[in-house]
């Protein structure tokens, strides 16, 4: 089975190499994306097979680099994330088959390599292969982000992304070196046998959190994340759905599996704190963005934060010998990773469909699309409801499990941790509520109301393949929402890797239990009750209005009637994206996002209009990027001074370096 996996990887690599000559042919793009679709399906199938059957032992990579024992293996954790990658990749490839007809050759080449890099990261069984796959993934996705490099903003996004990719590599490589220890054996088996301790463990924790956390989108290294809306829709879906999960896999693998179960209680705290902060920050920012894809990217920050909270909580519970709770938290994190991969892919693809049809992804240029794009609207509604964690959809089940695990944080004896748990519960609940508001705002502004531009009025649903690409994740989101119990059973192997004593019977088809005597959730029952209630309301409404539906002119918010050249009404009379976000910006944005708002009135007697300016800034940009940029400028200035040295100084510089080195040698010899 591992051979089949490796063959798939090799096939993807070959596809990447052949993409440029293939792109000359008219059917070349179809071959590339079809191949990616088949490979994704294979990934998902192999993941399922391993989850059901059992782990595949480590095996040396046939194309080994001299001096490095590169190994691959698939255990339950890898298999779970392979399943996620396969599902997200299949949806994205399907969408690409429908839309990416005129993709330039470099995108065709990078897309299979991106998939292959992610898969290689997931099946790696030693640090070297892991970093290799991770970097391949980063570089390939950089090419994909730089797709529309004619635009300066997109170029900036790609540059920022590349800088963060390099930063992640610069963090992960020393982390792997530290894990390898003095012997330098970075195979996972050797690392598990001698887990890091003391300052080495702390350094590994910091480096992996910075490296993989920046790729996943955890605070404060997520500056690059919102601009990746620049990528084509299927790539953005894959990055949000799969790549952030691969980074989380690295976090889980290194911090929870490789570092061993004997880590202290504080081991999970950084993950917990960063995750909770990211969740609130991302959800709040999603409420304020007016670019649809940027909004979704911010929502990704929130969901990644929730998953990180689950992982951190699992580490803490494990350290406190609360195995069952650790299993609960780990299961919640894994389940949410799967659910988020699907509904976020769905939302990105839905928004891609909207952008394709209505030529904009800006919320202020859309509106009323539910009438002209019913299929897309229904699919996006499912995704948005899942992202808003409404029962009985998939988002609810996993977030409910996560909150149950957080509510049990008081069972860890440490008082400080109990307080932290309370804060984390509040933060996660706030994040969930804010995410629901953000999804409501997104769906309302895009699909409800009246069209804000003629282009939005003339949109229509995509072709069959595009509809399939939306209906597949939508169907899976509903299905996974109805059966979280069987999914948790499927993930039992992966949970056991993260929390060795944590596997208990959590649920059957109908019911999901937290623990003995704890809370329960009947997803199918909830769905039935909601269906019955909805049917009853519909029936009642029909009964009360025997005349049937009559459409009247939309109320224009009290404004005067629009002129005849605006058949869909005056766009200014509808709420705008900024206006919708204003209450939250005023309430929370001031301190967290440096939101500002000012009104400039014309001078008395001047008939000109008053101007309202408002906006927000990412605080990480001023607190993190600006100092780094200043440091770079200062260093460049220093280096520049070297150019102006006189001839004698130029001679003195190497001479004194030589003398200093010789003195150092003499001093070392004397010791």
Closer to other proteins by Cβ: residue 3 or 665:
665
128 touches 190 (CB < 8 A): no
- Cβ closer to other proteins: 617 or 662? 662
**CB-nearer residue toward other proteins: 150 or 640:** 640
Shortest distance, CB of residue 650 to other proteins, whole angstroms? 9
* The only residue of 152, 183, 547, 666 in contact with other proteins, by rule CB under 8 A: 666
- The interface with other proteins within residues 177-236 (CB under 8 A) comprises none
- Give the CA angle between residues 623, 626, 629 to the nearest 5°: 145
The two tokens of residue 383 are 């995704």
Q: Which is nearer to other proteins, 560 or 666 (CB)?
A: 666
- Please pick, from the candidates 508, 622, 657, 665, the single residue that binds other proteins as defined by CB under 8 A: 665
Nearer to other proteins, 183 or 670 (CB): 670
- For residues 152 and 251, give the distance between their C-alpha atoms in angstroms, rounded to a whole number: 33
Q: Rounded to the nearest 5 degrees, what angle is found at the Cα of 251, between the Cα atoms of 248 and 252?
A: 90
Least spacing, CB of residue 239 vs other proteins, in Å: 46
Q: Nearest approach, Cβ of 634 to other proteins (angstroms)?
A: 23
What is the C-alpha to C-alpha distance for residues 179 and 183, in angstroms, rounded to an integer?
A: 10
CB of 649 to other proteins, least distance (A): 9
Residue 658 CB, nearest distance to other proteins (Å)? 8
Peptide bond before 146: cis, by omega within 30 degrees of 0?
Answer: no
Rounded CA separation 120/124 (Å)? 6
**Residue 591 lies near other proteins (rule: CB under 8 A):** no
> CA 637 to CA 622: how far, in whole Å?
21
Q: Between residues 199 and 667, which has the closer beta carbon with respect to other proteins?
A: 667
CB distance 348 to 442 below 8 Å: no
CA 162 to CA 425: how far, in whole Å?
Answer: 35
Nearer Cβ to other proteins (598/648): 648
Q: State in angstroms the smallest separation of the CB of 663 from other proteins.
A: 6
CB of 495 to other proteins, least distance (A): 58
Question: Rounded to an integer, what distance in angstroms lies between the CA atom of residue 329 and that of residue 403?
Answer: 9
Residue placing its CB nearer to other proteins in the complex, 531 or 659 = 659
Residue 670 interacts with other proteins (CB under 8 A): yes or no: yes
> For residues 186 and 176, is the Cβ–Cβ distance under 8 A?
yes
CA 272 to chain CA mean position, Å: 17
Which residues contact residue 288 at a Cβ distance below 8 angstroms, ignoring those fewer than 6 apart?
Answer: 581, 584, 585, 589, 593, 595, 616
CB 277 within 8 A of CB 339: no
**Residue closer to other proteins (CB basis): 606 or 669:** 669
Binding residues for other proteins, total number by CB under 8 A: 15
Shortest Å, Cβ 326 to other proteins: 56
Min dist CB 660 to other proteins, Å, is 10
Name which of 587 and 652 has its Cβ closer to other proteins.
652
Q: Is the peptide bond before 597 cis (omega within 30 degrees of 0)?
A: no
Tokens of 465: 């393949």
Considering the complex, state which of residue 560 and residue 668 has its C-beta at the smaller distance from other proteins. 668
Q: What is the 3-state secondary structure (H, E, C) of 1-44?
A: CHHHHHHHHHHHHHHHHHHHHHCCCCCHHHHHHHHHHHHHHHHH
Minimum distance of other proteins from residue 637's CB (angstroms): 17
Nearer to other proteins, 65 or 651 (CB): 651
Residue from the set 10, 64, 634, 662 that interacts with other proteins by CB under 8 A: 662
Whole-number minimum distance, CB 633 to other proteins, in Å?
22
Q: Is the dihedral of CA 202, 204, 209, 214 positive or negative?
A: positive
Which two three-digit tokens encode residue 131?
């970093």
Nearer to other proteins by Cβ, of 613 and 646: the residue is 646
Closest CA to 272 of 418, 164, 165: 418
Q: By CB under 8 A, tell whether 587 contacts other proteins.
A: no
What is d(CA 226, CA 239) in angstroms, rounded to the nearest whole number? Answer: 12
CA of residue 417 relative to chain centroid, distance? 27
Applying CB under 8 A, among 153, 419, 529, 663 the residue interacting with other proteins is 663
Using CA atoms, how far apart are residues 401 and 523, in angstroms rounded to an integer?
Answer: 13
Could you give the string, one character per residue 454-493, with x where binding to other proteins holds by CB under 8 A and - elsewhere? ----------------------------------------
269 is written with which tokens?
Answer: 């705290």
3-state secondary structure 229-276: HHCCHHHHHHHHHHHHHHHHHHHHHHHHHHCCCCCCHHHHHHHHHHHH
* Nearest one of 146, 143, 348 to 237, comparing CA atoms: 348
CB of 121 to other proteins, least distance (A): 46
CB of 648 to other proteins, least distance (A): 6
**Contact predicate 22/108, CB 8 Å:** yes
Please, which residue, 617 or 658, has the CB nearer to other proteins? 658
Segment interacting with other proteins (CB under 8 A) among 185-193, 427-435, 516-524, 660-668: 660-668
If the CB atoms of residues 150 and 669 are measured against other proteins, the closer one turns out to be: 669
Nearest to 489 by CA among 517, 512, 515: 512
Residues in the chain: 671
Question: In the complex with other proteins, which residue's Cβ is closer, 610 or 666?
Answer: 666
C-alpha torsion angle, residues 271, 236, 595, 559 (rounded to 10) = -140
**Cβ of residue 644: shortest distance to other proteins, in angstroms?**
7
Tell me how far, at minimum, the Cβ of 639 lies from other proteins, in Å: 17
Contacts with other proteins, 620-659, as mask; x by CB under 8 A: ------------------------x-xxx--xx--x--xx
Rounded CA gap, 141 and 494, in Å? 27
> Which of helix, strand or coil describes residue 613?
strand
Residue 636 beta carbon to other proteins: minimum distance, rounded to whole angstroms: 19
Q: CA 254, 85, 55 angle in degrees (round to 5)?
A: 60
Binding site for other proteins (CB under 8 A): 644, 646-648, 651-652, 655, 658-659, 662-663, 665-666, 669-670
């Amino acid at each position: 089975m591992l051979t089949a996996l490796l063959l798939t990887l090799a096939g993807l690599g070959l596809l990447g190499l052949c993409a440029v000559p293939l792109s000359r042919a008219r059917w070349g793009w179809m071959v590339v994306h079809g191949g990616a679709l088949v490979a994704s399906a294979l990934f998902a199938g192999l993941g399922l097979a391993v989850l059901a059957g059992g782990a595949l032992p480590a095996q040396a990579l046939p194309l080994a680099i001299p001096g490095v024992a590169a190994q691959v293996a698939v255990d339950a954790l890898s298999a779970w994330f392979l399943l996620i990658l396969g599902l997200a990749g299949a949806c994205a490839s399907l969408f690409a088959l429908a839309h990416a007809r005129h993709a330039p050759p470099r995108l065709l080449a990078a897309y299979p390599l991106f998939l292959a890099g992610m898969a290689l990261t997931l099946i790696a069984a030693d640090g070297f292969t892991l970093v290799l796959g991770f970097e391949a993934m980063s570089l390939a996705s950089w090419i994909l982000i730089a797709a529309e490099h004619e635009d300066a903003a997109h170029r900036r996004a790609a540059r920022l992304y590349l800088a963060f990719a390099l930063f992640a590599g610069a963090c992960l490589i020393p982390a792997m070196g530290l894990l390898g220890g003095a012997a330098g054996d970075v195979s996972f088996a050797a690392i598990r046998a001698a887990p890091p301790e003391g300052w080495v463990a702390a350094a590994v924790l910091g480096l992996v959190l910075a490296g993989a956390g920046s790729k996943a989108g955890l605070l404060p290294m997520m500056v690059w994340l919102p601009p990746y809306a620049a990528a084509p829709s299927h790539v953005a879906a894959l990055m949000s759905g799969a790549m952030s999960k691969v980074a989380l896999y690295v976090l889980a693998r290194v911090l929870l599996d490789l570092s061993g179960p004997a880590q202290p209680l504080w081991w999970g705290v950084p993950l917990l704190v960063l995750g909770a902060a990211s969740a609130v920050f991302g959800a709040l920012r999603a409420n304020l963005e007016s670019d649809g894809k940027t909004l979704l990217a911010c929502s990704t920050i929130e969901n990644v934060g929730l998953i990180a909270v689950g992982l951190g909580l699992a580490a803490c519970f494990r350290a406190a010998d609360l195995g069952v709770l650790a299993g609960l938290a780990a299961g919640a994190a894994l389940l949410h990773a799967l659910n988020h991969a699907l509904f976020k892919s769905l939302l990105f693809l839905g928004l891609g469909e909207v952008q394709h049809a209505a030529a904009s992804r800006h919320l202020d240029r859309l509106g009323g699309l539910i009438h002209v794009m019913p299929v897309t609207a229904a699919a996006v509604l499912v995704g948005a409801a899942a992202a808003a964690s409404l029962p009985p959809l998939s988002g609810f089940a996993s977030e409910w499990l996560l909150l149950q695990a957080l509510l049990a944080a008081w069972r860890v004896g440490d008082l400080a941790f109990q307080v932290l748990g309370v804060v984390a519960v509040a933060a996660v609940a706030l994040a969930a509520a804010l995410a629901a508001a953000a999804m409501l705002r997104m769906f309302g502004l895009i699909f409800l109301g009246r069209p804000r531009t003629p282009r939005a009025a003339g949109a229509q649903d995509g072709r069959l393949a595009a509809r399939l690409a939306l209906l597949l994740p939508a169907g899976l989101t509903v299905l996974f929402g109805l059966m979280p119990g069987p999914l948790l059973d499927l993930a039992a192997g992966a949970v056991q890797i993260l929390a060795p004593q944590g596997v208990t019977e959590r649920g059957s088809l109908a019911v999901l239990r937290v623990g003995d005597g704890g809370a329960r959730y009947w997803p199918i029952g909830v769905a039935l009750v909601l269906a019955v209630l909805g049917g009853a309301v519909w029936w009642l409404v029909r009964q009360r209005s025997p005349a049937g539906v009559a459409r009247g002119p939309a109320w224009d918010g009290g404004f005067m009637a629009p002129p005849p050249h605006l058949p869909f009404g005056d766009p200014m009379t509808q709420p705008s994206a900024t206006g919708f976000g204003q209450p939250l910006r005023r309430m929370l944005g001031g301190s967290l996002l440096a939101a500002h708002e000012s009104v400039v009135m014309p001078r008395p007697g001047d008939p000109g209009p008053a101007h309202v300016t408002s906006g927000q800034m990412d605080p990480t940009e001023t607190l993190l990027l600006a100092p780094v940029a200043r440091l770079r400028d200062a260093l460049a200035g220093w280096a520049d001074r070297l150019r102006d040295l006189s001839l004698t100084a130029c001679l003195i510089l190497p001479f004194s370096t030589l003398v200093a080195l010789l003195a150092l040698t003499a001093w070392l010899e004397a010791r």
